Structure 1
Amino acid sequence: MTQERTHVRTTALMFGAVFIGGAAGSLMRELFSVNIPGIGFLTQTFGINIVACFVLGWLYSVRSRVHAHMLHLGAVGFCGGLSTFSSFVAELERLALSNIWIATSAAALEIAAGLAAAILGEAIGRRFHRHGATE
């Protein structure tokens, strides 16, 4: 197989992985978001986005153990489809119409919680990776 054909095949597999992962993540988000109400000033997508951040942190902690296409499938596709920036912004806009400070607080809280979830996911993944390597 020529180098160009290998590159085309690899690129096609990467796009296919992102497409399949994105479809699965989007479907899962829709299934969960229908049944999850907003709690207080938290957005409806708060929990979903936090789970996506956690999974993303975990996936990147084990990236040396998985094929690049699995990262495309899981991190770019699935987590990208599961998390939803557009819904997050739309929900913040609705909150801002009633109280800009509540919307600002909700945005700050969700961003901080997402970063914390990603850090926790990475820490757990690194611990899991270290134990897997020693056993």
Structure 2
Amino acid sequence: MTPVLVALGGAAGSILRYLTDWKIRQWRDSPFPFGTLAVNIVGSFVLGILSGWLLHGAEPSSVRALVAVGFCGGLTTFSTFGYETVRLFSEKARLYAVLNVVVTVLAGLTAGALGLWLAA
């Protein structure tokens, strides 16, 4: 049953990631990858909340499989973050590339910590 939950969560997260990126690109035409940044921050926040619940024993394994592994795994994306950073760097948008790394890491850690704090 666990693989099915991971697959369902992953499908939902992947679709939401695609739609979020698509909508943000329509709203904000920029070489900076705002869509990937947004989903990575949201995913970090959700995973922080789930981790907080886990630390207090309130998270069943089915929720972890569906939401943490599946949904957050499908929603967030390290490979796209890496690709977009290299693309920005190779397209001579080096300031955007550095900004992408700094903002993604700091915002992701902050969102995860905030989620963890709120769950505690």
TM superposition score normalised by structure 2: 0.85
CA–CA distance in structure 2, aligned partners of residues 73 and 54 of structure 1: 16
| Residue in structure 2 matched with residue 112 of structure 1 by the alignment | 106
Q: How does 1:47-126 map to 2 (within 5 A)?
A: 47-63=38-54, 64-97=57-90, 98-126=92-120
Q: Which deviates more from structure 2 when the two are superposed, residues 92-101 or residues 17-26?
A: 92-101
Could you say if the C-alpha distance between residues 112 and 39 of structure 1 is closer, same or farther in structure 2, counting changes exceeding 3 Å?
farther
C-alpha distance after superposition, 1:14-49 (max 9, x if no partner): 211111110110011111111113676742311111
Could you say if the C-alpha distance between residues 30 and 40 of structure 1 is closer, same or farther in structure 2, counting changes exceeding 3 Å?
closer
RMSD: 1.7
Could you say if the C-alpha distance between residues 88 and 39 of structure 1 is closer, same or farther in structure 2, counting changes exceeding 3 Å?
farther
Gapped regions of structure 2 (runs ≥ 5) = none
Gapped regions of structure 1 (runs ≥ 5) = 1-12, 127-135
CA–CA distance in structure 2, aligned partners of residues 36 and 102 of structure 1: 17
Q: Per chain length, whose mean CA-contact separation is higher, i.e. which structure has more relative contact order (CA < 8 Å, sep 6+)?
A: 2
CA–CA distance in structure 2, aligned partners of residues 51 and 34 of structure 1: 16
Matched to 1:55, the amino acid is V
How many residues matched?
114
| Residue in structure 1 matched with residue 13 of structure 2 by the alignment | 25
| Per-residue deviation, 1:66 | 2.2
TM superposition score normalised by structure 1: 0.76
* Structure with larger Rg: 1
CA–CA distance in structure 2, aligned partners of residues 109 and 41 of structure 1: 15
